[in-house]
Structure 1
Amino acid sequence: MIGTIVNVVLIVMGSMIGSVFKKGLKEQYQDILMQGMGLAVAALGVFAITKHMPDSEYPVLFIVSLAIGGVIGERVNMEEKFHQLVSKVSKGNLAEGLSTAILLFCIGTLSIVGPIESALNGNQTYLFTNAILDFVTSIVLAATFGIGIALSAVVLFCWQGFFYVAAKMVSGFITPELLTEISIIGGVLILSSGLSILGVRKFRTINLIPSLVIPVIYLVAKNLLWT
Structure 2
Amino acid sequence: MIPGTGTLVNALTVLLGAGLGVALGHRLPERTRDLVTDGLGLVTLLIAGTSAMEVLSPALSDAVGSSAPMLIVLGSVPIGGIAGSLLRLEQRVEQVGGWVQRRLTRGGAGEARQRFVEGFVVSSLLFCTGPLTILGSLSDGLGNGADQLYLKAALDGFAAIAFAASFGWGVAASVLTVVVLQGTLTLVGVAAGGVLPEAHLAAVTAVGGVLLVGVALRLLRLRDLAVADLLPAVLVAPVLVQVVAWMQ
| TM-score normalized with structure 1 length | 0.79
Cross-structure match for 2:82: 71
- Alpha-carbon offset, residue 222 of structure 1: 5.6
Within 5 Å, give how 1:10-159 maps onto structure 2.
Answer: 10-20=13-23, 23=26, 25-55=28-58, 56-57=60-61, 58-59=68-69, 60-89=71-100, 90=102, 92-93=107-108, 96=113, 98-108=116-126, 110-113=127-130, 114-120=132-138, 123-124=148-149, 125-142=151-168, 150=172, 152-159=174-181
Q: Is the 8 A contact 1:24 1:140 kept in 2?
A: no
Separation in 2 of the partners of 1:21 and 1:173?
41
Separation in 1 of the partners of 2:79 and 2:218?
21
Separation in 2 of the partners of 1:51 and 1:219?
13
Q: Is the 8 A contact 2:204 2:234 kept in 1?
A: yes
Range 129-138 or range 71-80, more displaced: 129-138
1:69 is aligned with what amino acid?
G
The total of aligned residue pairs comes to 221
Cross-structure match for 2:225: 203
CA shift in 2, pair 1:215/1:119, >3 Å: same
Cross-structure match for 2:11: 8
Q: Is the 8 A contact 1:115 1:161 kept in 2?
A: no
2:225 is aligned with what amino acid?
F
CA shift in 2, pair 1:130/1:19, >3 Å: closer
CA shift in 2, pair 1:19/1:74, >3 Å: closer
2:191 to 150, 169, 177: 169
| TM-score normalized with structure 2 length | 0.74
1:205 is aligned with what amino acid?
V
Cross-structure match for 2:64: none
Q: Is the 8 A contact 1:62 1:184 kept in 2?
A: yes
- Alpha-carbon offset, residue 85 of structure 1: 2.6
Q: Aligned Cα RMSD in Å? A: 3.1
Q: Is the 8 A contact 1:7 1:134 kept in 2?
A: no
Separation in 2 of the partners of 1:150 and 1:85?
14
CA shift in 2, pair 1:134/1:160, >3 Å: farther
Q: Is the 8 A contact 2:18 2:160 kept in 1?
A: no
Unaligned runs of 5+ in 1: none
CA shift in 2, pair 1:62/1:15, >3 Å: closer
CA shift in 2, pair 1:180/1:16, >3 Å: closer
CA shift in 2, pair 1:21/1:155, >3 Å: same
